Structure 1
Amino acid sequence: MITDNNGLTIPTYEDVLEAHERIKPYIHETPVLTSRFLNELTGAELFFKCENLQKAGAFKVRGASNAVFGLSEAQAARGVATHSSGNHALSLSYAAGQRGIPVTVVMPRTAPQAKKDAVIGYGGTIVECEPSTTSREETFAKVVGESGADFVHPYNDPRVIAGQATCAKELVSQVENLDAIIAPIGGGGMISGTCLTVSSIAPDVKIYAAEPLNADDAARSFKAGYIIADDAPETVADGLKVPLKDLTWHFVRNHVTDIFTATEDEIIDAMKLIWKRMKIVMEPSSAVPLAVILKNPEIFKGKRVGVIITGGNVDLDTLPWLKN
């Protein structure tokens, strides 16, 4: 890792290689799937990197495992803690359980029940907060102050970003001659990891981010040239409600080609399309990249595009297309 002029600790590709070796016993090398129907529909060759089939059901187990298994014995004895709307919470709980250390998670009371159940199932302790970034961070400060646990940030952590970068590392080795990679963006952990890997080993590949229009702070930040943070946006893509932070912003502003948005209906339609045509379970946040590709065909037509499906942890009783 290196420290820049602003004091940021930035992971390097060497950290990615070390992370991959560290976490291999605890993750899957997830498959890449294709769909002739979706290729014909979009005019592009799409290669779906299926992190919905990852341990704990999400890519975030990569970064969480790298952080947990990188701790010294003394650090690990105090346990780990985080705040998360879902996938990082259950991924950190999984990793901590694998190492046999305690984990406490601050979660919004509105987080999907399926994700809360998974945290508890992996042995995590949940402290609930109100569904806003402010409430989440205030509640978490109290938790860490009392326990002394190691804080593993959901995305603004060099250990986490190095772990997430192993996803793109696998994708680049699995699919030759990619023209672009697109992934969802919320806080920016996956995109930052993708930037770290791609800029190091496949610098000609363009990196696009996909975001809900209802939570478009990253897109507005990208255009403005500085971080714009929304406190409590409302979107069906519950994993993409959090804002960029200084470390993820470093990668976004230096390496992302563009950020596109999709409406709630477009996200739900894309989610249904993948469920129907590819027969895989994935959550609304993971549908945003396909929604963006369908909305902007001129950008992706004729290109070989890696599409990162980030997670598959959905509450089957509250699917977004079900009518109450």
Structure 2
Amino acid sequence: MRKPTAEGVAAALESLKAIPLPPTPLLPVEIDGVRCHVKAENLQPIGAFKIRGAWWRLNNLEGDHAVAVSSGNHAQGVAFAAKRLGLKATIVMPHDAPEVKLANTRALGAEVVLYQRPGEDRDEVAARIIAESGGVLVHAFGDPWVMEGQGTAGLEATEQLGREPTRVITCCGGGGLAVGLSLACPNAAIHLVEPEGWDMVGQALAAGQLVHVAADPPKTICDALQPNVTKQLNLDMLEGRAEPGVTVTDEEVRQAQRWAFANLRLVLEPGGAAALAAALAGKVPLDEGTVIMLTGGNADPARFAETIAA
């Protein structure tokens, strides 16, 4: 399999200028007396960083039909890119995905196929669609072009900061963003943050092999960060580059959502607030060169209102 490269990340950034996709803000914040920065990817046109990888992948797609599996943000990125490029998009999404993500994906013109979570294997559903239609799988985190596209956020942050970050704290699902950031910021420490019980990348790095989610995993409000297992390519790329992973609780994530709303006037979905949650909870080191990724803002309105009112 093709491996993602730093050169690919740079090419992806040039490709994004065709949309055009303005850089997302790099905002100064102070946490525990340390001045650092947050990268507000929740302000992307689709509300999440996933537009970066989807755009670069579909620009390199062989064929005219993209098939993806996603709980919502990658779905919207693929749907957005497909619409702009005149391609067909079919997205396999969990039946319990936030309604705002389902509605937004359909509004962008993609066909949505629902599967039961837990119970059905989403990859098997996607494989059937591909076998029947001849479509091309655009994997949310295991595709090298997707990884390169996600890494463009790191190149932007470097330009905005005026130097390469010393460390990048990032929300982590399957690890595609983390791989891209490690390529874009080769000298930065990369800190992975995952929900408790869903730290499949962190566990895999610790074990040196792929680790599958437990048969009875805990519930998490971070719907965007629930991979059953990462990919071998991701593990290979992150071994020796990523710092030991940390996990956050649902309550720590809610506190981060409240903090971002109160201090930055930003709306973050739970998964998009995980990195900030780890920083606020003192679970990762901070210095003046730290960049914290705020990866998504597609929050369910009612649940978000409940969170910030607490």
Which bin holds the TM-score, normalised by the shorter protein? over 0.9
**Following superposition of structure 1 onto structure 2, how do residues 55-66 of structure 1 map, counting pairs within 5 Å?**
55-66=45-56
Q: Which amino acid aligns with 2:282?
A: N
Structure 2 equivalent of residue 238 of structure 1: 223
Q: Which amino acid aligns with 1:255?
A: R
Structure 2 equivalent of residue 3 of structure 1: none
Aligned residues: CA RMSD: 2.0
Structure 2 equivalent of residue 258 of structure 1: 244
Distance 1:233 1:138, change over 3 A: farther
Deviation at 1:233, TM superposition (A): 5.1
The answer (yes or no) to whether the contact 1:208–1:258 under 8 Å persists in 2 is yes
Runs of 4+ in 1 over 4 A off after TM superposition: none
Structure 2: which 5+ residue stretches go unaligned?
A: none
Q: Deviations over 1:239-286 (max 9, x none)?
A: 100131112112221310221111111111111111111101111112
Q: Structure 1 length as normaliser, TM-score?
A: 0.88
Deviation at 1:297, TM superposition (A): 6.1
Relative to structure 2, which stretch is displaced further, 235-244 or 103-112? Answer: 235-244
Q: Which amino acid aligns with 2:32?
A: T
Structure 2 equivalent of residue 272 of structure 1: 258
**Larger % of helix: which?**
1
The answer (yes or no) to whether the contact 2:34–2:288 under 8 Å persists in 1 is yes
Structure 1 equivalent of residue 76 of structure 2: 90
Q: State the alpha-carbon separation in 1 of the partners of residues 57 and 256 from structure 2.
A: 33
Q: Which amino acid aligns with 2:10?
A: L
Deviation at 1:22, TM superposition (A): 1.5
Q: State the alpha-carbon separation in 2 of the partners of residues 18 and 143 from structure 1.
A: 30
Deviation at 1:134, TM superposition (A): 5.5
Deviation at 1:43, TM superposition (A): 2.6
Distance 1:14 1:155, change over 3 A: same
State the SS of the aligned residue for 1:230.
coil
Q: 1:221 aligned to 2:184?
A: no
Deviation at 1:111, TM superposition (A): 0.5
Q: Which amino acid aligns with 1:198?
A: C
Structure 2 equivalent of residue 175 of structure 1: 161
Q: State the alpha-carbon separation in 1 of the partners of residues 192 and 119 from structure 2.
A: 21
Deviation at 1:298, TM superposition (A): 7.3
Q: 1:212 aligned to 2:205?
A: no
Q: State the alpha-carbon separation in 2 of the partners of residues 290 and 94 from structure 1.
A: 27
Distance 1:18 1:304, change over 3 A: closer
* 1:163 aligns with one of 142, 149, 165: 149
The answer (yes or no) to whether the contact 2:276–2:293 under 8 Å persists in 1 is no
Q: State the alpha-carbon separation in 1 of the partners of residues 246 and 292 from structure 2.
A: 14
Distance 1:279 1:247, change over 3 A: same
Q: Deviations over 1:75-117 (max 9, x none)?
A: 12xx111111110001100000001111000000011100000
Structure 1 equivalent of residue 180 of structure 2: 193
Structure 2 equivalent of residue 34 of structure 1: 28
* 1:49 aligns with one of 36, 39, 42: 39
Percent identity reads 31
Q: State the alpha-carbon separation in 2 of the partners of residues 71 and 277 from structure 1.
A: 41
Q: State the alpha-carbon separation in 1 of the partners of residues 93 and 99 from structure 2.
A: 11
Count of equivalent residues: 304
Relative to structure 2, which stretch is displaced further, 244-253 or 224-233? Answer: 224-233
Q: Which amino acid aligns with 1:318?
A: R
State the SS of the aligned residue for 1:247.
helix
**Following superposition of structure 1 onto structure 2, how do residues 112-127 of structure 1 map, counting pairs within 5 Å?**
112-127=98-113
Deviation at 1:20, TM superposition (A): 1.3
